Amino acid sequence: AGYSLFGPIATNIGAPDEGNVHLLAHVASTAQKEQFLAPLARGDVRSAFAMTEPAPGAGSDPSALTTTATRTDGGWRIDGHKWFITGADGAGFFIVMARTSGTPGDRGGATMFLVPADTAGITVGRHISTLDRAMIGGHCEVTFDRVVVPEDNVLGAV
């Protein structure tokens, strides 16, 4: 698949889907695998991994996360601004890293959430120009404004 620009598309292993498939296979619950992993592995949907934030937020260091997830009745409310989110435009769901405890700079406190792309409050904004323009779904800015997900959408543990 790596010999051709079309290989990742044809085999549904373009970034970030290939990594997300492995993450879901190892960490997701049985119900999460049915809802998120199965359609991704079949090539029915694409995914995006939303961690990177504008300064002073998280680049490659999750301890700097400024996106927050706050407990609500039966779930979580996610608020934050991400950018350089590969594959965001057209993704079927996001794996969102958000701070559930502590303050930016603290170790720990990062939790992953499975968020369907059609959830109210998600806005996929501009495509950020990069050298690798061949990425499916681009590298986008994404905002999460009062995005509510159920408790069952925590990936792994809080």
Question: Considering the chain, what is the average pLDDT of its residues?
Answer: 93
- Count how many domains the chain has: 1
Q: What is the pLDDT of residue 47?
A: 96
Q: Is residue 128 part of a domain?
A: yes
Q: Is residue 106 part of a domain?
A: yes
- If you average pLDDT over residues 44-70, what whole number do you get? 94
3-state secondary structure the chain: CCCCCCHHHHHCCCCCHHHHHHHHHHHCCHHHHHHHHHHHHHCCCCEEEECCCCCCCCCCCHHHCCCEEEEECCEEEEEEEEEEEECCCCCCEEEEEEECCCCCCCCCCEEEEEEECCCCCEEEEEECCCCCCCCCCCEEEEEEEEEEEEHHHEECCC
pLDDT at 106 over 70: yes
Q: Is residue 4 part of a domain?
A: no
Q: Is residue 115 part of a domain?
A: yes
The percent of residues in the chain predicted with pLDDT above 90, rounded, is 75
Q: What is the pLDDT of residue 13?
A: 79
The percent of residues in the chain predicted with pLDDT above 70, rounded, is 99
Q: Is residue 14 part of a domain?
A: no
Q: Is residue 78 part of a domain?
A: yes
CATH number at residue 88: 2.40.110.10
Q: What is the pLDDT of residue 103?
A: 94
Q: What is the pLDDT of residue 132?
A: 72
Q: Is residue 149 part of a domain?
A: yes
Q: Is residue 17 part of a domain?
A: no
**Residue 134: pLDDT band by 50, 70, 90 thresholds?**
low
pTM: 0.93
Write out the residue range of the structural domain in which residue 92 sits. 46-155
